[in-house]
A and B are shown apart, each in its own frame.
Chain A
Amino acid sequence: MARGLSLAALRDAAAAGIVAGLLALPLLGFRLLDSAQGLSLGYRLSWVFYAVIGVFLGRLVLNLIGAKWAARPRSTHHNAAMARFTPSASQSEYIAGWAMIAIAFVLPFLPFVDRNVVDRMTLVLIYVMLGTGLNIVVGLAGLLDLGYVAFYAVGAYSYALLALNFDLSFWICLPLAGIFAAAFGVLLGFPVLRLRGDYLAIVTLGFGEIVRVILINWQSLTGGPNGLVGIPRPSFFGLEFRAGAGGFADVFGLAFSPAQRIYFLYYLILALALITIAFVQRVRSLPIGRAWEALREDEIACRSLGLNPTTIKLSAFALGAAFAGFAGSFFATRQGFISPESFSFIESAIILAIVVLGGMGSQIGIVLAAVLLVGLPEWFRDLQQYRMLAFGGAMVLIMLWRPQGLLSRRTPTAKLAEAGSS
């Protein structure tokens, strides 16, 4: 019995090794070398050998450790499909949420935390905010949006342009950027909300690309590929973060340090993210929040109960877009520089991955996924080239490991999606 098992494991590993060899042969085994005379071919067939051996051994170890692991994704799926939707957060999640908020507040004062960590966490919080906003559209209203980054871009560019051209302060531009992004969301949403499922996905993806192309090509307004520079930094109720008289440090009698601005930005985004989260949590139990979820579960039932799908979808789109607009204007003021490069499809993919990995609707899941997908890769910046490779690989592995997302208790769509929607 055991011998039969190990023989099967060996055979399976050998097959995996052969496949790895076939994969590696054309692209790892040969190297395209460019030179003045054109391309020539380099050989490094030893790499193919390493790939085969590596995959063979890896597969063998996996097989021997347990067939259990391989069978796992299927069984978790089964359980989740059975799981029912429970609107109230469980006790432990509630406590964990407050604990996270507490940690976030004291983070800059912890002994092992330096400026870089705070800066990284600022970035993570931007993605928490974006993830929360997208969660309204994807998680609550069930509309797959692959072009969310467009609203983020609209927010960032509206802030930058308003601040640069009209000299408005951050606090006036912030709501304006949100309003612009929301208006854009309505504009975009209006024609496409009749579409369902994947058609909507591709159209939103297309819109995301259109926005980026326009940003690149509308030189006179957006500065083209070079972007906009010298975007004003936010001030602390009119006090600027600069050295000398009248600056923030001077008025409060502190020694000037550039770190003050970083800490201020951290608390600013923390406040924005918390407001977003609180808003979304509240709105979920309002009629409109219920309507989003009802619409996601069954559009026909909604319609026959007298709900207007178009308004409901539009409101989800507009609200999600507004939060992206806020996040975008914060991003612009933090960077001081924006260019279309920051708003490519990969950003949409990361934000969507945060929502899905977080478990579609779980707020704590979104925070965890943002830390995992945005925070951790920042630590490995030294690995530069391999970073994105590992990022993509991690995305696949986490999905295989937990198809329901990290916190999967709230996966109401699991069952109905198979029966009803496309």
Chain B
Amino acid sequence: MVGRAVTARELILGRLRAALAEPGTAPAEVPRDYRSAGSVAVDLDVLVHRLTDYRAAVHRCAEADVARIVDEVLGHRRVVVPPGLPRHWLPDSVTAVPDDNLTAERIAAVDGVVTAAAVAVAETGTIVLDAAPDQGRRIITLLPDVHVCVLRADQVVATVPDALARVDPHRPLTWISGPSATSDIELNRVEGVHGPRDLHVIITT
């Protein structure tokens, strides 16, 4: 092998294999006696508490009343709309800006965004978006300052393991727990940095 250039890949893998040549490095069994997917009952009140605790605004209503809530939050303002959003969620009072590959600048210039969600975790107050047509590209929930997310009660799961079991790793996933925040100043949580400063969650039953 003398004289042949060794790639970094070969070099690193060779180093790692040499490092593991020491005895006592057998693969380990992983004990999974923690609360796994399906082991905890869903409690919507827990979700509401956890969302509220992290300064998200929570609304509970019938599916038919979504437009009324959106009107309260975003009435008379410009709203980005993902391509697959149910149109009856939008009141006449908002100016819908459909996302047909809008530029970042145009998205940043609108007031809010309305999306659906893929799944929500009650225990952590987390909403997961998976870029399905009713949620749209990741960018549209990032630049506008108000995000209204509509969640069906049957999309709520109890725990993080439940949520991971439901989503597809090959889709871009965004896990959202409350509005943008930082703990960088004296380790106190402050809401509102780069992402939306207002998060509204509408839970439909």
Q: Do A and B come from one complex?
A: no
Q: Please report B residues at the A interface, Cβ cutoff 8 Å.
A: none
Q: Please report A residues at the B interface, Cβ cutoff 8 Å.
A: none
